[in-house]
Amino acid sequence: MLENANFSGVIAPVLTPFGEDGAPDPDRFIEHAEWLMGDGGCTGLAPFGTTSEANSLGIDERMDLLEELVESGMEPLSLMPGTGTTSLSDTITLTQHAIDLGCGGVLMLPPFYYKDPSEEGLFTYFAEVIDEIADDNLRVYLYHIPQVAGVGFSVDLVARLRGEFPETVVGLKDSSGDWSNMKAILDRLPGFELFTGSELYLLDTLRHGGAGTISAAANINGPMLRRLFEECEEPGAEALQERVSAFRRALQPYPTIPVLKAIVAHYRNDPAWAVLRPPNLALEPDRAAEAIRELADRDDFRLDFPETA
C-alpha cells in the first residue's frame, strides 16, 4: 500500500442528482456527499467524474456545485473534482476554480474529441494547463478511460508527464480494466498514486504499491471497499476481495449510472434520485427492482440513509 499519498483509499465519483427543473440539485448532492464521507466509508470524493454525468454538465453548473459543497463545510482537501474537457480554456477555468477553493487535487481527462491525437499533442495540452495555472498547490490525477474517451495515456506519456512535473502530476485513475497496464505504471513509477477504476483489481493495486480505488460502486458499497483497503495485508483479504468482486459483477449487467441512481432512489425513498440528464435515461422500473433484489440477496445488502426532514 502506498504511504504518504496526497489521496488514498476509497474515493467516490459522486452521483449528481437533478431537480424537477432539470438542473443539478445542490441539497441532494451535498447530502449524499456528506453520507459518503461518513457512513458511506469513503476517504475522498471525486465529483464530476464519469459516474457524476460530468460531461452532461456545463462548466458553470460544475463550479456552482463545487462551491456549494465547499461552503457546506466539506473539507476541500478531500475533494478531487474532474476538470478535464475537450477545451483547453474550459479545463484551465475549472482547474483554477478547484485550486482557488483549496481542493486537494483534480482528476483530468485527456481532450477526447479529436481522433488519434499524438502523444506530443497530449503532452502539450497538459503542459499548457499546468503552466497556465502555475500554482504549487496543483495536484493532477490523469484519468485513463480509453474505451469511453477514445483517447488514453500510454505508459511512456504518463512517465514523461511525471518526469516533467513531478510535484504536480502525482497520480492516475485507470479505468481501462487492463491490469497489465496498471502494473506497468506501478512498476515504472514507484510512489505514483495509481487508483484502479474497478475494485476487481483493488487488492492487486494495493499490494503493488497503488493508492486505492476511485469506483462508481463506492456510491453504495464504500464500507466494504474501505474494509478491503484497510485489511489488504490481513489473512482474510483474498476472501474479502472475492466478496467485493462478486458485488461488482452483480452490477455489471446493468448500465452503471442508471442502476446506481435507482438503488439510491429506492433506499432513500426518493424517486427524484433516479433521474438522469438526457441522453442518459433512468433504468426501467422492472430492471431496477431486479437489481435491487439481486443485491439484497447478496450479503443482506441494504443502505441505511438518515431520515430527511
Are 227 and 240 within 8 A, CB to CB? yes
- Residue 308 included in any domain: no
- Residue 263 included in any domain: no
Residue 164 CA to chain centroid, in angstroms? 25
The three cell numbers of residue 271 are 424517486
Task: Please tell me the predicted confidence (pLDDT) of residue 84.
Answer: 98
Ramachandran area for residue 58 (φ above 0: left; ψ -120 to 50: alpha; else beta): beta
Residue 224 CA to chain centroid, in angstroms? 17
Q: Where are the alpha helices (DSSP H) in the chain?
A: 26-36, 59-71, 88-100, 119-133, 146-149, 155-164, 179-188, 202-207, 218-230, 237-251, 256-268, 285-296
Task: Please tell me the predicted confidence (pLDDT) of residue 10.
Answer: 98
Sheet containing strand 169-174, edge to edge, reads 44-45, 9-12, 212-214, 193-196, 169-174, 140-144, 106-108
Mean pLDDT of the chain: 96
Does pLDDT of 218 surpass 90?
yes
Per the listing, cell 474501505 goes with 226
Task: Please tell me the predicted confidence (pLDDT) of residue 151.
Answer: 96
Segment 268-287 shows an average pLDDT of 97
- Residue 79 included in any domain: yes
Q: Cα separation of 171 and 169, whole Å?
A: 6
- Residue 53 included in any domain: yes
Please report which confidence band the pLDDT of residue 308 belongs to, taking 50, 70 and 90 as the band edges.
low
The three cell numbers of residue 164 are 516533467
End-to-end CA distance of the chain: 41
Does pLDDT of 237 surpass 80?
yes
Per-residue pLDDT tens for 220-235? 999 999 999 999 999 9
Percent of all residues in the chain with a pLDDT value above 70, rounded to a whole number: 99
What positions carry a catalytic annotation?
Answer: 50, 113, 143, 173
Per-residue pLDDT tens for 71-87? 999 999 999 999 999 99
Question: Is the model's pTM score more than 0.85?
Answer: yes
The three cell numbers of residue 160 are 514523461
Nearest residue to 244 via CA among 212, 268, 209 = 212
Per-residue pLDDT tens for 171-212? 999 999 999 999 999 999 999 999 999 999 999 999 999 999
Per-residue pLDDT tens for 156-165? 999 999 999 9
Per-residue pLDDT tens for 105-156? 999 999 999 989 999 999 999 999 999 999 999 999 999 999 999 999 999 9
Task: Please tell me the predicted confidence (pLDDT) of residue 32.
Answer: 98
- Residue 284 included in any domain: no
- Residue 105 included in any domain: yes
- Residue 140 included in any domain: yes
Residues in contact with 175: Cβ distance below 8 Å, sequence separation at least 6, in sequence order: 50, 143, 144, 145, 148, 197, 198
Task: Please tell me the predicted confidence (pLDDT) of residue 226.
Answer: 98
Give the residue numbers spanning the domain of 51. 9-237
- Residue 163 included in any domain: yes
Segment 29-43 shows an average pLDDT of 98
Segment 95-113 shows an average pLDDT of 97
- Count of domains for the chain: 1
Three-state secondary-structure class, residue 9: strand
Nearest residue to 267 via CA among 227, 228, 308 = 308
At 151, which CATH number? 3.20.20.70
